[in-house]
Amino acid sequence: MEIQVDGLNIRYKVEGEGPKCAVILEGWGTNIEVYDSVVKDICDEYKVVTLDLPGFGQSDEPNEPWGVEEYSEFVLHFLFKIGIKEADLIGHSYGGRIIIYLASHLNDLKIGKIVLIDSAGIMPRRTPKQKRRIKLYKIKKKLLHFPLVYFFFPYMIDNWMHNQGSEDYKNATPMMKKCLVKSVNQDLTMHLKSIENDTLLVWGDLDDATPISDAHIMEENIRNSGLVVLEGTGHYSFLEKPDVFRNVIRSFMITEE
């Protein structure tokens, strides 16, 4: 299905006919199909909403660089437009950033339980070596973009720029690169203590995108939280051990009568 929200065409799906609603917010650069297995895990008890966030999957990009705050506002506008004012929230990676922001700020959405899967939101601590590399990168970038230098070596410079940064950054469009930079520089650690919802943290111990140390920080700071580690899995832990994940999420979200 498609709907227009704030002037953007947004692709979304609604599955299941349960009495409660669950909303799944996707990770950076993914699409709603990635989360089909999570939908199936709970759609017998929930009405489950998934959407391609602006700039993800088949949805329109934002018209200007967005950070976590802008994406969070958009999610509220989307949910209210389709008539949802109360929901449990499930977020993977970047989707977790949005949920942390929403759950720690006053808004009109009544949030129930929260599931954060390999969630982003913690600013990584940089080693002295990494700090030196970043400083050197900024100096090179500034030098290489002098008009005269770029005039003589445009292809070499463009190729060097393309090879910098993460895979997410390399694969992003110019607008989404700006959104990614704006988002990853927002540390949400200070907001964690404001979250009072029952929160399940699910993590892969081999996750190299949002390391297990992030999970421990979240568990320490979110009052009503618990951590389940899926051993031998990475950033997509829910796909790597789907049966274990299914049991974990159902035991947390679905209360047997």
115 shares a domain with 6 = yes
Tens of pLDDT along the chain (257 residues)? 999 999 999 999 999 989 999 999 999 989 999 999 999 999 999 999 999 999 999 999 999 999 999 999 999 999 999 999 999 999 999 999 999 999 999 999 999 999 999 999 998 764 455 435 545 544 545 554 556 444 444 555 445 445 555 566 667 889 998 999 888 888 999 999 999 999 999 999 999 999 999 999 999 999 999 999 999 999 999 999 999 999 999 999 996 54
pLDDT for 169 equals 62
Q: Quote the crossing angle between the two packed helices 128-144 and 154-162, to the nearest 10°.
A: 150
Full-model pTM: 0.85
199 shares a domain with 212 = yes
118 shares a domain with 158 = no
pLDDT for 185 equals 82
Q: Which domain holds residue 104?
A: 2-123+187-253
pLDDT for 257 equals 42
Compute the chain's Rg from CA coordinates.
Answer: 19
92 shares a domain with 174 = no
pLDDT for 183 equals 86
97 shares a domain with 11 = yes
* Domain end position, chosen among 162, 180, 198: 180
* Domain end position, chosen among 159, 180, 201: 180
Q: Angle 78-174-141 (CA atoms, 0-180°, nearest 5)?
A: 140
| Number of structural domains the chain divides into | 2
Place of tokens 């003589």: 152
Place of tokens 């292809």: 155
User: Residue 243: which CATH number?
Assistant: 3.40.50.1820
153 shares a domain with 111 = no
76 shares a domain with 19 = yes
Question: Which three-class secondary structure state does DSSP give residue 105?
Answer: coil
73 shares a domain with 192 = yes
Contact between residue 86 and residue 109 where contact means Cβ atoms under 8 Å apart: yes
Region class of 118: left (phi > 0), else alpha (psi between -120 and 50), else beta: left
* Domain end position, chosen among 163, 180, 197: 180
152 shares a domain with 220 = no
Contact between residue 70 and residue 101 where contact means Cβ atoms under 8 Å apart: no
Cα 6 from Cα 16, distance rounded (Å): 27
232 shares a domain with 148 = no
143 shares a domain with 111 = no
99 shares a domain with 16 = yes
